[in-house]
C-alpha cells in the first residue's frame, strides 16, 4: 500500500533538488529563491540548514551535489554560477556560509538567467542547466539557457544549447541513455549517451505531455528506478507519473497533497522511498498559510519500486582545492 508522509513540519517556497546521501543517510534539498540548502536525517528527524550568501551572478541556490571523498564539500548552482561551499557534518543546525570558490559562471549574454536542475552522471560529471527569469511558473523568455557539463577536471562544456527551462535528468543503468526535460517543451527527451566522453546525440521524444492529455501539468524533476522506468514530478499536477520510456507510456500515477510537485529522488536504506519536493510559487498566500502541504517535502513508500545510489561529483580534490582563494 502506498503511503505518503510529509517529511518535515516546515514547508518551502521553492523546494527542489532532492539528493540522498548514501554514506550518511540524509536527504539534501534546496529552497531555491531563499538561497538555502537543507539536510534532513529521516532516522532521527535531525534537520540542518545553511544559507548561502549571494554570489557574483545571483542569490538563488538551485541544487547541491556532494563531492566524492570530501563529504563537507558541495557544488551548488548559485545564480548562474557553479560554486563550491563547505558544510561540515557537525555544523550548527543553522549557518550562513559564503562560497569558497566560483568554479564557472555562464550565460553572460543573459545576466538574469540562473541555474536550475543539476545532477551527476554515472561517471561523476555534473550536468546542470539554466533558465531565464520567470514572470510566472513556466512563463519566461524562450531559448535563453543551456545544459552544461562540469567535467571532473573542472572544465565546462555545453551539452545542449537554446534551452528554455532546463530541468530533470536521469541515466539508465547501462549508462547508454540520458533522459532530459526542457519544461516549456512539455516533453521528456532521450539522448544517446557516451559515458567515456560525456557526449550526447540522437535526441528523440519519450513522452509528449500534450499528446498524453496531461493538461496544464509541467514536467519538472525526474529520477529513474532499477527497472528503467522514469518517475517525473508534475508541477501543477498534484502528482508524480511513472513512465516506461521504451514504449513512451504512462504506467502509473502517484497523487500528492501539494499541487506544485518539483522533483523526486530515491533514498532510504534500500532506495525504496521516493522523496518528493514541492513549491508554493503561484499559490495564494491564504492557501499557503492554511495548507502546510503546499511546499512540503514528502516521503512516499510502498511503491514496490527501487532506485540506486546516486553518483557524487568525482573531481580531483587537489585540483578543486587549488580554486579556493
Q: CA 37 from chain center: how many Å?
A: 12
Please state, as a whole number, how many other Cβ atoms lie within 10 Å of the Cβ of residue 291: 17
Per-residue pLDDT of the chain (325 residues; tens, 9 = 90+): 999 999 999 999 999 999 999 999 999 999 999 999 999 999 999 999 999 999 999 999 999 999 999 999 999 999 999 999 999 999 999 999 999 999 999 999 999 999 999 999 999 999 999 999 988 888 899 999 999 999 999 999 999 999 999 999 999 999 999 999 999 999 999 999 999 999 999 999 999 999 999 999 999 999 999 999 999 999 999 999 999 999 999 999 999 999 999 999 999 999 999 999 999 999 999 999 999 999 999 999 999 999 999 999 999 999 999 999 7
Residue 134 in marked binding region: yes
Residue 229 in marked binding region: no
pLDDT score, position 203: 98
In the chain, domain spans: 3-321
Which candidate, 232, 235, 270, places its Cα nearest to that of 251? 232
Residue 16 in marked binding region: yes
pLDDT score, position 312: 98
Which residue, chain included where needed, has cell 540542518?
48
Residues with Cβ < 8 Å from 322, sequence gap 6 or more? Answer: none
Catalytic residue annotation: 220
Residue 167 in marked binding region: yes
Which residue, chain included where needed, has cell 529513474?
224
Tell me the CB-side half-sphere exposure of residue 79, using CA atoms within 13 A.
Answer: 21
Which residue, chain included where needed, has cell 491564504?
286
Residue 220 in marked binding region: yes
Element containing residue 288 per DSSP (H, E)? helix 285-290
CATH topology of domain 3-321: Neuraminidase (2.120.10)
Q: Which three cell numbers stand for residue 196?
A: 567515456
Please state, as a whole number, how many other Cβ atoms lie within 10 Å of the Cβ of residue 109: 7
Which residue, chain included where needed, has cell 568554479?
103
For residue 180, the SS3 value is strand
Number of separate helices (H) and strands (E) present in the chain = 2, 27
Residue 244 in marked binding region: no
Question: pTM for this one?
Answer: 0.97
Which phi and psi (to 5°) does residue 215 adopt? Answer: 60, -130
d(C-alpha 210, C-alpha 195), whole Å = 32
Angle at 322 between CA 59 and CA 56, to 5 degrees: 20
Amino acid at each position: 500500500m502506498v503511503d505518503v508522509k510529509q517529511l518535515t513540519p516546515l514547508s518551502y517556497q521553492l523546494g527542489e533538488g532532492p539528493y540522498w546521501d548514501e554514506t550518511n543517510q540524509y536527504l539534501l534539498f534546496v529552497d531555491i529563491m531563499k538561497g538555502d540548502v537543507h539536510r534532513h536525517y529521516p532516522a532521527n528527524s535531525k534537520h540542518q540548514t545553511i544559507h548561502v550568501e549571494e554570489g557574483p551572478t545571483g542569490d538563488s541556490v538551485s541544487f547541491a551535489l556532494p563531492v566524492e571523498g570530501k563529504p563537507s564539500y558541495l557544488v551548488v548552482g548559485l545564480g548562474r554560477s557553479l560554486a563550491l561551499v563547505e558544510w561540515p557534518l557537525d555544523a550548527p543546525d543553522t549557518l550562513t556560509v559564503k562560497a569558497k570558490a566560483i568554479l564557472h559562471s555562464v550565460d553572460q549574454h543573459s545576466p538574469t538567467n540562473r541555474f536550475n536542475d543539476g545532477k551527476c552522471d554515472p561517471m561523476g560529471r555534473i550536468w546542470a542547466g539554466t533558465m531565464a527569469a520567470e514572470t510566472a511558473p513556466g512563463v519566461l523568455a524562450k531559448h535563453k539557457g543551456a545544459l552544461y557539463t562540469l567535467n571532473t577536471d573542472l572544465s565546462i562544456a555545453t551539452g545542449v544549447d537554446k534551452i528554455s527551462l532546463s530541468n530533470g535528468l536521469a541515466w539508465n543503468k547501462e549508462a547508454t541513455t540520458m533522459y532530459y526535460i526542457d519544461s516549456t517543451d512539455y516533453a521528456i527527451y532521450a539522448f544517446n549517451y557516451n559515458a567515456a566522453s560525456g557526449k550526447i546525440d540522437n535526441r528523440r521524444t519519450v513522452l509528449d505531455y500534450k499528446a498524453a492529455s496531461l493538461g496544464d501539468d509541467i514536467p519538472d524533476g525526474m529520477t529513474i528506478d532499477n527497472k528503467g522506468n522514469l518517475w517525473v514530478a508534475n508541477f501543477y499536477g498534484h502528482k508524480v507519473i511513472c513512465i516506461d520510456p521504451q514504449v513512451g507510456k504512462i504506467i502509473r500515477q502517484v497523487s500528492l497533497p501539494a499541487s506544485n510537485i518539483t522533483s523526486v529522488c530515491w533514498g532510504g536504506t534500500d532506495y525504496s522511498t521516493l522523496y518528493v519536493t514541492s513549491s508554493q510559487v503561484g499559490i495564494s498566500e491564504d492557501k499557503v498559510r492554511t495548507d502546510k502541504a503546499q511546499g512540503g517535502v514528502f516521503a512516499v513508500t510502498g511503491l514496490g519500486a527501487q532506485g540506486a545510489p546516486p553518483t557524487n561529483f568525482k573531481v580531483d580534490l587537489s585540483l578543486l582545492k587549488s580554486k579556493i582563494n
